[in-house]
A and B are shown apart, each in its own frame.
Chain A
Amino acid sequence: MAGTSNADGGAGIDPMHQFEVHPIIELPTIAGVDTSFTNASLWMVLAIGLSSLFLIIASRRTSIVPGRLQLMGEMSYSFVANMVKENVGTEGMKYFPFIFSLFVFILFCNMLGMLPYSFTVTSHLIVTFALAATVFLLVTLVGFARHGVGFLKLFVPSGIPVVLLPLLVVIEVISYLTRPVSLSVRLFGNMMAGHTMLKIFGGFVVGLSSAGLIPLAIAPFALMVAFTGLELLIAGLQAYVFTILTCIYLNEAIHMDH
């Protein structure tokens, strides 16, 4: 939601300020890579720390009749496991740890981003693109490892007139290559737009009330509350969408059915 509140305050609130990355601990550049620990790094570490902590505690008790926490852990496991089984089949269970980690990571990053003054890791295109590119690489590698050169048949639709074939192959290749882009932009766009909108409404509330027009600030405030609920839904939904699309791409690479 809200980023760090601006010193200039009021109407001068910059809705994009919340996305700024600034180092917390300066670290040396190793092999051309800046390793500085930034606010983005902090929230990534928090996301994996909290999710790991939750799941480790939830899976510590292995009783036959689960407690509340154990049930929550098992339900998140079953949720992703069923998604993989339904969309990819049992062969897909080999990649279940990866898909589960992906889901947990995105979900926790999105949800932690809903906290006031937090930083939304997934509102940065570079992060979502890196995740999407990892998925794209995995899917492509799995496809070639399973079918060899035959994986290229994926780009040749069956039952199409030969005249149209060159055009369709080009379209198929482009649509395949743009997958990491669409996958990453969908998540990044949803996160950034939602947080920007909340910030703008927040700016209205602060601006109007500091100008003494508190009754007028009620409407944007109510909208903000409503949009916060919507954003929570979107945070969960986008984690789900990212994960299920990964499953669908993986299924295509394994089974090659269009």
Chain B
Amino acid sequence: MPQLDPSSFGSQLFWLAICFVTLYAVMAVVVLPRITKTLAARADQMEGDLAQAEALRDKAEAALAAYEEALAQARTRALGLAQDMRADVQAETDRQKGELDASLAEAAKAADIRLEDARTKAMEGLQTAAQNIVADVMAAVGVEKADEKAVAKAVTQAFASTSDTVKAG
């Protein structure tokens, strides 16, 4: 069995030491640091990319939230404005209506007063005319001296009752 021949041991160990140390040096100095660096760079890049994607997503979500908030605000403002405007218009309408009602009421009152005056005057005119007619009629029938005061009283009485019926009518 050649494996048990000690004459080859020296040379085998000598070359094994040289080869293994050389391999170790090449691996430790050249190959492994390079691969470590590449793998680390890749891990970093992936981590960075993921972080960037996360940040971008957060930004997009924030933008969406801001947009929705702005939309809600605008809607609220529009609603408020519409309500304000409606209230303004209502108030203006109410005011104008109030003014109109007041002026109309005033005009009606004035008209009533004028009407009352006119009626009073007419009644007075009518009463005077009636007294004159009564006096004339009495003179015509021959009552020489009519009691003016009695005539006026009678006419006034008659008018008062008529006037009541007129007013009631």
Contacts and interface: CB of A to CB of B under 8 A. Distances in A.
Interface of A: 16, 19-21, 23, 29, 32-38, 40-41, 44-45, 47-48, 51-52, 55-56, 58-60, 62-64, 66, 70, 73-74, 77-78, 96-98, 100-101, 104-105, 121, 123-127, 130-131, 134, 188, 192
Nearest to B10: A34
Of B5, B10, B17, B19, most buried by chain A (CB within 10 Å of CB) is B19
A55 B27 contact: yes
Contact of A192 (B3, B22, B32): B3
Binding site of A, secondary structure by majority: helix, strand, loop or mixed?
A: helix
Interface stretch (B33-41, B54-62, B84-92, B116-124): B33-41
A77 B42 CA distance: 14
Given A41-B11, A126-B13, A51 B35 contact: no
Contact of A105 (B2, B23, B35, B45): B23
Binding site of B, secondary structure by majority: helix, strand, loop or mixed?
A: helix
Contacts of A20: 2
B35 A123 contact: no
Interface of B: 1-5, 7-17, 19-20, 22-24, 26-28, 30-32, 34-39, 41-42, 45
Contact of A62 (B11, B19, B34): B34
A36 B3 contact: no
B24 A97 contact: yes
Given A34-B11, A74-B38, 20 more contacts: A23-B11, A34-B14, A38-B8, A44-B16, A47-B19, A51-B23, A52-B23, A55-B27, A56-B31, A58-B31, A59-B35, A60-B34, A62-B34, A62-B41, A73-B35, A74-B35, A74-B39, A77-B36, A125-B4, A130-B16
Nearest to A52: B26
A70 B31 CA distance: 11
A73 B48 CA distance: 24
B18 to A, nearest CB: 8
A60 B31 CA distance: 8
B11 A104 contact: no
B1 A19 contact: yes
A18 to B, nearest CB: 9
B22 A48 contact: yes
Nearest to B8: A21
A159 B41 CA distance: 48
B13 A130 contact: yes
Contacts of A121: 16
Nearest to B24: A101
5 contacts: A21-B8, A38-B8, A51-B23, A131-B16, A188-B3
Given A34-B14, A38-B12, A126-B9, A59 B30 contact: yes
Contacts of A52: 22-23, 26-27, 31
A64 B41 contact: yes
Nearest to A60: B34
A45 B1 contact: no
Contact of B14 (A33, A48, A64, A78): A33
Contacts of B28: 97, 101
B2 A21 contact: yes
A51 B3 CA distance: 25
B12 A59 contact: no
Contacts of A96: 32
A44 to B, nearest CB: 4
